[in-house]
Amino acid sequence: MAEPVPPLHTSWLGEGAVLCQSDPAPLEPALQERFWTLAEAVRRLPFAREAVPGMNNLLVMIDPDAEGEAAVAAIRQCWATAGRRAVAGREVTIPVRYGGEGGYDLAHVAAVTGLAPAEVVRRHSAGCYVVYALGSQPGFGYLAGLDPALAVPRRDVPRVRVEGGSVVIGGAQTGVISRTSPSGWHVIGTTDLPFFDPDRDPPALLAPGDTIRFTIESLVP
């Protein structure tokens, strides 16, 4: 029996982009695979300038000379017929120094979750994470796969400076700050692995579909 096609909701962002979303889902892998497949199909359409996957969504940049209703209809047709396909990404291992000066929020995450700091680290490093999308800053990967027991609401007031290489938890997600910037995510460790280098080809270390594994380089509770 054919897999049912989830609903697709489209909305214009200005006059040159269409945001494609489905009904809200908690980082559903099968739904993300559908959006990856939709991106491939849409890129072949003559009016599509760019297709940028997000977390269970897709942003399509439209040629301003294209007829809007026809463009949306073509996107919907792609959604109805494209199905879903996993992306064969790479496996990237990220060594982490947990806690200490570079992981100053580890104790806070432990207190909120009711787990010992060492258990937070064990669970975090035991996970297998999938890169759903890149965004927010160059090279920052939005990952799915965080143990629900480690989910901690983001800070009410973001810090104005969080160093690049900081391993963070925010809500139901984890990730690595790729460039020094403000952030409201909780810092539990740090890594020396470079996630963005404009002189590298490609400049971003991660890509959608990659698998991430964190390893414990050290732990200071």
Q: Is the predicted pLDDT of residue 82 greater than 90, yes or no?
A: no
What's the pTM? 0.86
CATH topology of domain 91-220: Cyclophilin (2.40.100)
pLDDT for position 25 = 67
The average pLDDT across 50-68 equals 92
pLDDT for position 26 = 67
Domain range annotation of the chain: 9-82, 91-220
CATH code of the region 9-82: 3.30.1360.40
Kindly report, residue by residue over 88-107, the tens digit of the pLDDT: 789 999 999 999 999 999 99
Cis peptide bond upstream of 202, omega within 30 = yes
Q: Is the predicted pLDDT of residue 6 greater than 90, yes or no?
A: no
**In the chain, which ranges are E strands?**
9-12, 17-21, 48-54, 57-62, 91-99, 129-134, 141-144, 159-162, 166-170, 173-176, 181-183, 186-190, 211-220
The average pLDDT across 110-130 equals 97
The average pLDDT across 18-33 equals 84
Residue 82, SS3 per DSSP: helix
Phi/psi region, residue 138 (left: phi>0; alpha: psi -120 to 50; beta: rest), is beta
pLDDT for position 89 = 83
Q: What are phi and psi of 157, to 5 degrees?
A: -120, 115
Q: Is the predicted pLDDT of residue 1 greater than 60, yes or no?
A: no
- Rounded CA-CA distance 87/154 in Å is 29
Kindly report, residue by residue over 168-192, the tens digit of the pLDDT: 999 999 999 999 999 999 999 999 9
Give the confidence band of 37 by pLDDT, cuts at 50, 70, 90: very high
Please write down the HEC assignment for all residues of 33-75: HHHHHHHHHHHCCCCEEEEEEECCEEEEEECCCCCHHHHHHHH
